């Protein structure tokens, strides 16, 4: 399992590589596990760029799910 760091917050995530995807998608389930769905051609750098651009969502979403 990989980890993304936002300041001192560590967010573990798993990558599901998909043949039929064209974009990188993020989903967070009720157990607060982050899954990244990425096209087979995506690089780790591209995935990390998406995680960087979605930092606000990554920090807010777990609080919404715990309500």
> So where are the chain's domains?
2-65
Q: Is the pLDDT of residue 66 over 90?
A: no
Residue 62 has a pLDDT of 78
Tokens of 66: 């715990």
Mean pLDDT value of segment 23-38: 92
* Strand extents, DSSP E, 2-48: 2-6, 9-18, 25-28, 34-39
Mean pLDDT value of segment 14-26: 97
Contact (Cβ atoms closer than 8 angstroms) between residue 39 and residue 50? no
Q: How far is CA 28 from CA 19, 34, 41, in A?
A: 21, 5, 23
């Amino acid at each position: 399992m990989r980890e993304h760091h936002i300041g001192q917050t560590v967010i573990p995530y798993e990558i599901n590589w998909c043949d039929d995807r064209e974009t990188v998608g993020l989903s967070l389930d009720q157990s607060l596990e982050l899954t990244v769905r990425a096209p087979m051609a995506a690089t780790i750098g591209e995935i990390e760029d998406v995680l960087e651009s979605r930092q606000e969502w990554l920090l807010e979403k777990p609080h919404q799910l715990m309500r």
